[in-house]
Amino acid sequence: MHEFSFALDIFKVAEATALKYNAKRITEVLLEIGELTLIVPELLQRSFEMATKGTIAEGARLTITITPGKVKCRDCNKISEVSITREAQLTGLQLFKCSHCDSNNTEIVEGKKANVKNIKIQE
Ligand SMILES: [Zn+2]
């Protein structure tokens, strides 16, 4: 999976911020992950540990918040909150139904991104 390269990206963002504040250590990274990214938090935790070994973020806690996925219906224009079912996770098939009119004609508008919300540092 793409967890390891993703963990590296998180580290780079956190490191850049920490350097800006002359931090000696990063103690915690707060991360938001969209529900539809298909990132597995447990794998990401482990990858983050590996990616930060020997760096200023070694031993930092990675706190993950999952944000809900949202789709917009092309038929009724309304927004629905969706989540990935076990089945979709296994097959990679992502078909989201509009919860207002039951249409399958939807597009994902939120939940495919991940970003570092905040970091905690030691100066
Ligand atoms: Zn609809």
Q: Which residue has the tokens 């529900």?
A: 35
38 and 96 belong to one structural domain? no
| Ligand 1: centre distance to CA 96 (Å) | 11
63 and 13 belong to one structural domain? yes
59 and 84 belong to one structural domain? no
**85-107 pLDDT, tens digit each:** 766 666 656 678 899 999 989 99
64 and 16 belong to one structural domain? yes
Residue 121: predicted pLDDT: 96
| Ligand 1: centre distance to CA 89 (Å) | 23
| Ligand 1: centre distance to CA 97 (Å) | 8
Our count of domains for the chain comes to 2
Domain enclosing residue 21, as ranges: 3-68+111-122
62 and 76 belong to one structural domain? no
Which 8-state DSSP code applies to residue 35? G
Angle at 41 between CA 50 and CA 97, to 5 degrees: 150
Phi then psi dihedrals of residue 108, to 5 deg? -75, 125
| Ligand 1: centre distance to CA 38 (Å) | 24
| Ligand 1: centre distance to CA 71 (Å) | 10
| Ligand 1: centre distance to CA 73 (Å) | 5
59 and 88 belong to one structural domain? no
The domain that contains 33 carries what CATH number? 3.30.2320.50
CA distances from 36 to 21, 58, 64 (A): 33, 28, 14
Identify the weakest region by mean pLDDT among 39-43, 44-48, 63-67, 77-81. 39-43
56 and 78 belong to one structural domain? no
Q: How many CB atoms lie within 10 A of CB 68?
A: 12
Residues across the chain: 123
| Ligand 1: centre distance to CA 93 (Å) | 20
**103-115 pLDDT, tens digit each:** 989 999 999 999 9
**18-35 pLDDT, tens digit each:** 999 999 999 999 999 998
